[in-house]
Chain A
């Protein structure tokens, strides 16, 4: 079993839609949870960084972590064509540890 799992998609939504991206993880030692956005042929860009369970909001993005169910979510409100990218969820045991990535979900926002 992979440590972080997510549906690879592709996911296609109309502009303005609310996007819901989900991940599950198996490593109970994970304390930090991240969402990265990766455009084609670019390095991953950190979108959200969360410690333990809870919600975190930043502009149009909201991340949720439920450690009891080992479930991670990212919501994108008012999606834009520029949000079209691959979204990678990830976990870490400590803040200076290696990042374990999920396989990524490909998102297309259609104008």
Chain B
């Protein structure tokens, strides 16, 4: 299947700092990527839809000024957690799909574990 990577896989930061997480599609182009968040022992919840060349679409209750998304190319989307606080500590996962004829599955990255001290 198609490969989606994330970097870093794990990050610890101090409260009040900003953290950038990268999501890359390695062997296909992705005009749309999705960002999810997963708290311990809970399921994945969609945060936002990242569209190449345009503004992201955020789910209800997700602060767009806190979670900045930039989809600058067809293979890269970034999520920046600004002024991070301990309650932002979570597992952040992105997804994308080739969405070409014959392959319309969606693949998930390995996730980034964020710990805010």
Which residues on A are within 8 Å of B, measured CB to CB? 32, 34, 36, 41-46, 49, 88, 92, 95-96, 98-104
Contacts and interface: CB of A to CB of B under 8 A. Distances in A.
A36 B45 CA distance: 14
B113 A99 contact: no
B97 A98 contact: no
Given A44-B44, A46-B1, A88-B43, A99 B106 contact: yes
B28 interface: no
Contacts of B45: 101
Contacts of B107: 46
A95 B104 CA distance: 6
A41 B99 contact: no
Contacts of B109: 43
B63 interface: no
A101 B43 contact: yes
A32 B104 CA distance: 10
Nearest to B111: A43
A88 B42 CA distance: 11
A44 B93 contact: yes
6 contacts: A42-B111, A43-B109, A44-B44, A44-B108, A88-B43, A99-B46
A99 B96 CA distance: 10
B49 A98 contact: yes
Given A99-B106, A103-B43, A41 B111 contact: yes
B103 to A, nearest CB: 9
Nearest 6 Cβ contacts at the A-B interface: A95-B104, A43-B111, A43-B108, A43-B110, A101-B43, A103-B43
Contacts of A46: 1, 105-108
A45 B110 CA distance: 9
A88 to B, nearest CB: 6
